[in-house]
């Protein structure tokens, strides 16, 4: 039986059908609101879940990592359930200043109109959303640099794209480990979390029912990516890793994944930049069609 509020349980792979069903009914636009995202980041954020009437509740158990609660998922209006959740977090979890992180515009609008809440946009968590056709064609002046990188790779190497299967997992883990070593993941809490999330995603590839792709050169995995359907017209890319010593590899895995796996999706959500300057520059360089805004929500004092 699913946990009923005020009982919470850690997110497990056995919870996929219940949580995924609730999320798909909501038709999310933010990248956090997928079962895969919650599951692969569950250790980093200590995610736990519960059901309260018509709403899915997800809270973070590791307050040191920042997330206190994700948006309640379900029908409007969510003012009552949000007030109830804040009271419970304060009284039962001793959370001095309860908040909802990564709230979407729908919830921000609902709570802003109801009164009694402070709603603040958080630019570092805005999702970058691109037209799939743009990422496939890479046409026009805006994508000249991407075309140049990709063409250089194609002139220099014979690449082979394959859907990512369990046969590729060991090689992908090795590539991710090398990527992490180069960036000294052990010195950065977010990179440690990302490395753990990547391992979890690859280790549960079949159970999560997500899509992936790899690029091989001479039979060796030099790039891989993982994503899934977010809503009817959008796919979301959760993980992307490539050998940075091979020019054009990131451009190639991005372009090939979109072309081979998501040609019927209008949009590709490539998640947020977390305020990291290099990542922001890279995401902006692909010329997003629009951003999905996110907010922090607190009770007014």
All structural domains of the chain, each given as residue ranges with its CATH number in brackets, are 9-125 (3.40.630.30), 127-271 (3.40.630.30)
Output b/e per residue, 216-252; b: 16+ Cβ within 10 A: bbeeebbbbbbbbbbbeebbbbbbbbbbeebbbbbbb
User: Residue 111: what pLDDT?
Assistant: 95
Between residues 166 and 62, the one the model is more confident about = 166
Query: What percentage of the chain reaches a pLDDT higher than 70?
Result: 97
Which tokens is 225 given?
Answer: 């990516």
pLDDT at position 63 is 52
Tallying the residues shown for the chain, one arrives at 301
Q: Does residue 191 carry a pLDDT above 80?
A: no
Report whether pLDDT(244) > 60.
yes
Q: What is the pLDDT of residues 45-77, one digit of tens each?
A: 999 999 999 999 999 976 555 679 999 999 999
The Cα-based distances of 69 to 14, 60, 106 in angstroms read: 21, 6, 16
The pTM (predicted TM-score) of the whole model is 0.95
Which of the two residues, 25 and 96, has the higher pLDDT score? 25
Check pLDDT > 60 for residue 42. Answer: yes
Residue 133 scores a pLDDT above 90: yes
| pLDDT score for 66 | 62
d(CA 152, CA 137): 16
The CA-atom distances, in angstroms, between 37 and each of 31, 44, 206, 249, 255 are 8, 11, 15, 24, 22
**What is the C-alpha separation between 24 and 35, in angstroms, rounded?**
10
Q: Which two tokens stand for residue 231?
A: 């809503």
DSSP 137-189: H--SGGGHHHHHHHHHHHHH--EEEEE--GGGHHHHHHHHHHHHHHTTGGG-H
Give the pLDDT of residue 181: 79
Percentage above 90 pLDDT, the chain: 88
**pLDDT reading at 187 higher than 90:** no
Tokens of 174: 């090795």
Closest CA to 22 of 71, 67, 89, 86: 71
Mean pLDDT, to the nearest integer, of 183-187? Answer: 71
Q: Place 179 in a pLDDT band, splitting at 50, 70 and 90.
A: confident
pLDDT tens readout for residues 253-283: 999 999 999 999 999 999 999 999 999 999 9
DSSP 8-state class, residue 241: E
∠ CA(232), CA(69), CA(123), 5° rounding?
70
Give, in degrees to the nearest 5, the angle at Cα 134 between 256 and 163: 15
* Lowest mean pLDDT segment, chosen from 8-12, 162-166, 194-198: 194-198
């Amino acid at each position: 039986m699913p946990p009923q509020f005020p009982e919470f349980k850690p997110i497990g792979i056995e919870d996929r059908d219940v949580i995924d069903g609730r999320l798909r009914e909501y038709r999310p636009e933010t990248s956090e609101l997928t079962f895969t995202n919650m599951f692969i980041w569950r250790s980093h954020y200590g995610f736990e879940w519960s059901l309260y009437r018509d709403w899915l509740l997800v809270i973070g158990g590791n307050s040191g990592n920042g997330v206190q609660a994700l948006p309640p998922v379900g029908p409007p209006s969510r003012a009552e359930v949000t007030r109830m959740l804040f009271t419970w977090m304060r009284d039962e979890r001793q959370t001095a200043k309860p908040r909802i992180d990564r709230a979407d515009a729908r919830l921000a609008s609902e709570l802003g109109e109801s009164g009694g809440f402070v709603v603040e946009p958080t630019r570092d968590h805005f999702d970058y959303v691109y037209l799939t056709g743009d990422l496939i064609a890479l046409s026009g002046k805006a994508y000249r640099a991407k075309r140049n990188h990709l063409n250089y790779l194609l002139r220099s190497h014979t690449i082979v794209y394959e859907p990512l299967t369990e046969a590729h997992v060991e090689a992908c883990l090795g590539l991710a480990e090398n990527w992490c070593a180069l960036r000294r993941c052990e010195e950065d809490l977010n990179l440690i979390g990302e490395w753990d999330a990547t391992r979890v995603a690859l280790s549960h590839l079949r159970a999560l029912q997500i899509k992936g792709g790899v690029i091989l050169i001479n039979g060796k995995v030099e790039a891989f990516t993982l994503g899934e359907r977010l809503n009817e017209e959008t796919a979301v890319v959760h993980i992307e890793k490539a050998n940075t010593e091979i020019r054009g590899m990131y451009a190639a895995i991005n372009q090939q994944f979109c072309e081979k796996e998501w040609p019927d999706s209008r949009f590709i959500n490539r998640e947020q930049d977390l305020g990291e300057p290099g990542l922001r520059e890279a995401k902006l360089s692909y010329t997003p069609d629009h951003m999905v805004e996110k907010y922090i929500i607190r009770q007014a004092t």
